[in-house]
Structure 1
Amino acid sequence: MSDFNQNIQPKRRLLIIDLMQGIAMLWVVVGHHLLAFMPPVYGSIHYYIYSFHMPFFIFISSFLIAYSYKSQAYSTYTYRKFHKFFIPYVLIGVVVTLLSAMQKGWNTVSMNLLDLLVSPKQSDATFLWYIYLLFFLYALYPLCFKIRMKYKGYFELLMLLVSGYFYLNPVSTPIFCLDYLTGYLLFYILGIMAAWYFPFLEKQLSLLKVLGLFSLIAFIVLTIFAFVYPDRFIYIGLCFVAIPAMYGLSFILRQIRFAANALVSISKNCFHIYLLHMFFIQGIAMIFMKLYTHRIESLGLMFVYLVFSTVFSMVGSIVVFRGYNKLKLTITREKV
C-alpha cells in the first residue's frame, strides 16, 4: 500500500469532504441553542447531538489537517497556524468578555481573560474552545507526520492504542483543553489516518458508498432508540456510526444541487461561522424574548425557531465576514 505523500501529490478540493464538513457545521450550530426558553425536550436533543457531532467534526477537521499539509519548517508552520487561529480567537474572546462584563461587572474581566488563555471552557467565551483546541491539533500534526514516516505501521498502531485508552479514560482537567484533547484524540488519529490512506480509500468508492448508506440506516435506528430507550451504549454507537453515516448522507445530498451548494458554502466559511455564529444565536434569542415572553412549549415552534436561528446565524456570519473582507480590500487599495 503506497504512502500518502503530502509533498508531491497535488491537492484538489474534495466535494464529499466539503459536504461532510458542511453537515458537521450544521450540527454544531443547532447544538448551540441551549437557551432558557427552549422546551425540556431540547435538553435531550442537545445531549443527542453532542453524543456524536464533535467526534465527527474533529474527524473531518483532522482529515483536512493531514490532507492539506505541506512540509515546512515547524516554526513557520506553527506561526502561521497561530496567526490564523489564535489571533481571531483572542479578538472574539475579548469582545465576548467585554460584553459579559457589561452584565456581570467589570471585576470579572481579568479572570475571564486568564480563562480564555488557559482554560477556555471556563471562560464566558466557552464556545470558542474548539478554535483553541484546533491550533494544538494543527501543531501536533507535523510531529505525527515525521514519526510516521520513520516508523509507519508501528506508529499508527501505537497511536490507535493510546488514543483508544484516552477515549475510555480521558484526562479530567480542563486546563489547555486537555480533557477534550484526550477525549477526542481517537477521532483525530482516525481522521489523519483516513488522509494518509486516502489514495487507497478512493479506490474503494463503491464499497464505501454501501457502507455509508447502511451506516446511515443504522444511525437513524440508533437515533430512534436514543429518544425512546436512551442508553450509554446507544450514544457510543451513535458516536462511531455518525462518521460513515454522514458520509452516506453526503452522497445523497450531492444529488440535490441546492443542498450541495449550500453545504459547500458552509464548508468554505466554516471557520468564520464558528467564530461568529453565537453572536447571532444570542442576538436572535434576545429579540425573541422581548417579543415572546413565554417559554416555547410547541415542538413545531421550536423547530421553526431552530431552523430560522440556525440559517440566520450561518448566513449572517458569512455576510459579516465578506463585508469585512471588502472593507479591508477597499482600505488596502486606498493606501496603494
Structure 2
Amino acid sequence: MDPSDDALLRQTQRLLSTSLTFAGGPVEVAERLRAALMQAHPGLMAALPGGPASHAAQLARALTWLVHHLDRPPLLVEGTGRLGAALAACGVEPGRMQLVGAALAEAMRAGMAPGQWRQDFDLAWRSTWQHVYEWISHGAVRAGYDPPVWDATVVEHELRRPDLAVVRLRPDLPMPFTPGQYARIQVPELPAVWRPYSLAGAPRRNDLVELHVRAKTTAGVSGTLVHRTRVGDTLRISRAEGGMTLPADPSRNLLMIAGDTGVAPLKALLTELADTGDARSAVLFWGVRDLTELYDIDEIAATARAARRATVVPVVSEGDPGPYASGLVTDAVAAYGEWSDHEVYLAGPPLMLAATSRALQQLGVTPDRIHHDPAE
C-alpha cells in the first residue's frame, strides 16, 4: 500500500471506532440496525437462520470485526467475501444488501447525543460500506462455483455417555439449514477427512448447530469430537445436505423411528413442528438397547410437549424398560397403530434402516412414503 493510502485507511478506522463508541457500542448499534432492516426489508432478516437475539448478536460481532480489521485489507476482503458466499447460501441476493449502508449510518446517528454526529462519520461509514458491499457481491458470485465452508466455535460440549457427546457449535457466519438435514464436519486433527452428522439445532430460534456424536473408538472424527473436543475449539462445517425434511403438504401426519443417535434429525423435525405451531400429528419411536441409551429423552420429551400433536415413545429392547415400552421397536410400531397413510422418517444405523423399511412395507407403508438419508 502507498503510505498515503495507509494513513487514510487508519484515519477511517479511527472514525469508525470513535463513532461506534459515541453511538453506544456495537450491541446497541446492532439492535437499532436490526430493527431498521426489519422495517425496511423484513425478507432480508427472515432469510437468515435464528431469531431477533441471534440476529442482533451476529450484527454486533460483524461491526466489531469490521472495525478491527479495516487496517488489514487482505483479511477484510477475504472475510467479507466469505460473508457474501454465506449470504448467497441463505438465499440473499447482493442487490438486497444495498440498503444496509444507509440503515447503518442511521443506526449510528440515532444513538448519539445532538450535535455528536458529524459529516466525516457519515462519510466514513458510507464509503466503507460501499467497498464492503462490492466484496460481498464478489463472494456471492464465487459461491456459485466454490461452495462455502463455515468455521464454527464449540460453545457447549456435554458428555452424555462415556461414548457419546452432544456438541453445540456457533458458525462464524450465517449458516442455513432445514431441520432434518445433515452436514459434514472437519476437525483440525484430520484436515483431509469430512464426516457427516445430522443437525439437531433450532434455526428459527438461534444460530447454533447441535450434533449428537457417538464414538466407537477414540480415533477418527467421532473420537475427536467425543473425547478431545473442548469449548472454544474451532471446527469446519460444509453446507447442509439431505432431503429428510418435513413434507410440504400439512395434511400428512408423521411417523418417526430412530435408533441410537439417529434421534438427532428427528428431534430437529419435532422442534420445527413446535416452533411453527404445526397441527399435524407426529409420533416418534426411539429404539434403544437399555435405559442408559436414552441420553436425550428429557429434552426430546419437552420438545414434543411444546408441539401441538407430538408423542415420544421410547422402546427398550434389553433389561428393565422402566416406564417405557419393551421389545423391538418395529413390534412397538406395529402394535401402536396403522401407518399406511403417514409419511415415515427413519434415522439410525444402516442395518436398522434396512430392517425397519422391510417391516414397514409389510405393514402396508409404500416405499415412496419412507424417507431416510443414504447410509455412508
The TM-score with structure 1 as length reference comes to 0.27
Q: Which has the larger radius of gyration?
A: 2
Q: TM-score, normalised by structure 2?
A: 0.25
- More helix per residue: 1
Q: Which structure has more strand as a fraction of its residues?
A: 2
